[in-house]
Amino acid sequence: MANAAKSRWADAEEDAAFEEKRRREKEKKEEKKRLKAIEKAKKEATEAARKASAASGQQQDNADDGVDNHGRPSKRRKFTPERDDGRRVPPRNGGTSQGQGGGERRIVAAPEGGLLRLTGGALPEPCRSVERYDKLNDIEEGAYGWVSRAKDQSTGEVVALKRLKLDAADRGGVPVTGLREIQLLKDCSHRNIVQLREVVVGDRRPIDNILLVLEFVEHDIKSILEDMPQPFLASEVKTLLRQLAAGVAYLHGRWILHRDLKTSNLLLNNRGQLKIADFGMARYYSEDDTSSSNGGNTYLTPLVVTLWYRAPELLLGARRYGRPVDMWSVGCIFGELLTREPLLQGKNEADELARIFDLCGVPTDATWPGFRRLPNVRALRLPPSTSPAASKSTVTSIRAKFPLLTTAGCQLLSSLLSLDPEKRPTADEMLNHEYFRQDPRAKQEAMFPTFPSKAGQERRRRRNTPNAPQRGAAAAELGSVDFSGIFGEREKEERGAGFSLRMV
């Protein structure tokens, strides 16, 4: 069979050689272009560096001469020098120096690393996982989260985990109450404020599982008052009140309103130390928030503080308030510590106001100036100022309700429960009150009594001790019992070298 005819389009050997030659020439041209581009880039970089160096020198000369690149006088810039400890100090003569001849003032150059260098803080470490903690038991459910007891796997320390309540329908993310609580607790460091250790997240859906790791405190005051058969002693009440006032003074000194002070938010450990907790309603405030004379537009919501501890100005719809709302709550806590029951247990806002007016008297223009300008006052029907209810004194009511309280204690409690917010003492003034200097003095924290912890699932110990005989019960008959062996062989006992008495 004859061989197949070769196609006339097949590549011959000379065609292959020609293609190889063209490829090599193309590669040489591309290599030349690349080398030329590199050389050009080097020249441009060298030229740019030379121009930048020349411009920097010109600017330095112009700065020394007080003119810019266009010959105009340059702006005077004040620089803040730094001290040896890193803190900034104000420059002398406003940051400029006067010439010896009293002529033109010159700019003092800032040292290297001065005011013009903006240094950003390092990025925070990511939140750890909640799986590092072993849950022990649930404690309680609050208005803004669930609280449970857990143990750190690495250190074995027992802590409290508070999981923030997040609304699934809310697409705004973490609520502002949770953000405020985290921010405020991170900014606070005081022995009477609960400590925030860290913020942890869940592994599955971190945005839905944000937990605050708080120090574990064994008790809350409300649970202790419910279980106590008798109220606290006067010295113990003073111990708790002084710590509460110290914590509130710290918060107010840092422009923080708690806005939910009550006995269930006051924790007590087994060393007699009180700590303020639950900052879900807390927030920063300023003088603009409390003064109604300025033209600011900052308003605060009156729907804060648990009803039984809410100040009368909040019940009347005040939109500008400050530290006195917390001090009213402190006064309600004071009365609750004395009787083991909340002082003003109103069923609703109107009933709460009625109970307040029954204890403190009906407000008048003399006892509470300007109260008629509050929004909810126009809906009230108050008795005339000449009625016995209007002339009722808070001190008289407090003395009648707490007959065992001293005169100084009555004065302090009545001032805390003053209808006029301006007449309530501050936390610092409360600490310096005469009530704490009178006997009995405040009991030392180390001597404070301890209680079984419900949060720690501790049970009250029951000792197997005999009980007293019941009234009317028949006496037990011993019957015939032989006691002769009790005193047997007493003569073999070792006798000391003492003396003996003999009757004569």
Confidence of residue 295 (pLDDT cuts 50, 70, 90): very low
Contacts of 345 (CB under 8 A, 6+ apart): 308, 355
Residue 227 has pLDDT above 70, yes or no: yes
CATH code of the domain made up of 219-447: 1.10.510.10
Selecting among 260, 278, 289, 326, the annotated active-site residue is 260
pLDDT given at position 147: 86
Residue 82 has pLDDT above 70, yes or no: no
Q: Per-residue pLDDT tens for 315-325?
A: 999 999 999 99
CA distance 271 to 366: 46
pLDDT given at position 177: 82
First to last CA, the chain: 163
In the chain, CATH 3.30.200.20 sits at 127-216
CA distance 216 to 486: 54
pLDDT given at position 53: 75
Of the two residues 496 and 176, the one the predictor is more confident about is 176
pLDDT given at position 432: 94
Indicate the range of 12-16, 243-247, 300-304, 489-493 predicted with least confidence: 489-493
Select from 316, 216, 230 the least CA-distant residue to 273. 216
Residue 260 has pLDDT above 90, yes or no: yes
Most trustworthy range by pLDDT among 10-24, 70-84, 92-106, 381-395: 10-24
CA distance 146 to 67: 65
260 included as an active-site residue: yes
Confidence of residue 410 (pLDDT cuts 50, 70, 90): very high
CA distance 77 to 310: 52
In the chain, CATH 1.10.510.10 sits at 219-447
Indicate the range of 45-59, 135-149, 383-397, 419-433 predicted with least confidence: 383-397
Beta partners for 158? 151
Of the two residues 256 and 230, the one the predictor is more confident about is 256
**Neighbour-count burial for 365-387, b at 16+ CB within 10 Å, e otherwise:** eebbeebeebebeeeeeeeeeee
Most trustworthy range by pLDDT among 203-217, 395-409, 421-435: 421-435
pLDDT given at position 108: 46
Share of the chain above pLDDT 70, in %: 66
Greatest CA separation for the chain? 164
Confidence of residue 383 (pLDDT cuts 50, 70, 90): confident
Token look-up 């064994």 returns 218
Residue 92 has pLDDT above 80, yes or no: no
Contacts of 8 (CB under 8 A, 6+ apart): none
The upper half-sphere exposure of residue 504, i.e. CA atoms within 13 Å in the direction of its Cβ, equals 2
The β-bridge relationship of strands 283-284 and 256-257 is antiparallel
Indicate the range of 302-306, 369-373, 383-387, 460-464 predicted with least confidence: 460-464
Mean local confidence (pLDDT), 157-175: 78
Indicate the range of 107-121, 160-174, 280-294 predicted with least confidence: 107-121
pLDDT given at position 433: 94
pLDDT given at position 209: 80
Of the two residues 470 and 192, the one the predictor is more confident about is 192
- 243 by Cβ neighbours in 10 Å (0-12 / 13-18 / 19+) ranks as buried
Of the two residues 448 and 326, the one the predictor is more confident about is 326
Q: Per-residue pLDDT tens for 121-158?
A: 555 677 888 888 888 888 776 655 688 888 988 898 99
Indicate the range of 193-197, 373-377, 387-391, 462-466 predicted with least confidence: 462-466
Mean local confidence (pLDDT), 345-365: 90
Mean local confidence (pLDDT), 401-419: 92
CATH code of the domain made up of 127-216: 3.30.200.20
pLDDT given at position 98: 45
Task: Decide: helix, strand or coil at residue 337.
Answer: helix
How many CB atoms lie under 10 A from the CB of residue 304?
18
Mean residue pLDDT across the chain: 78
Confidence of residue 488 (pLDDT cuts 50, 70, 90): low
pLDDT given at position 99: 45
Residue 69 has pLDDT above 70, yes or no: no
Contacts of 343 (CB under 8 A, 6+ apart): 308, 332, 335, 336, 359
Indicate the range of 69-73, 255-259, 445-449 predicted with least confidence: 69-73
Contacts of 310 (CB under 8 A, 6+ apart): 304, 325, 328, 329, 352
pLDDT given at position 43: 86
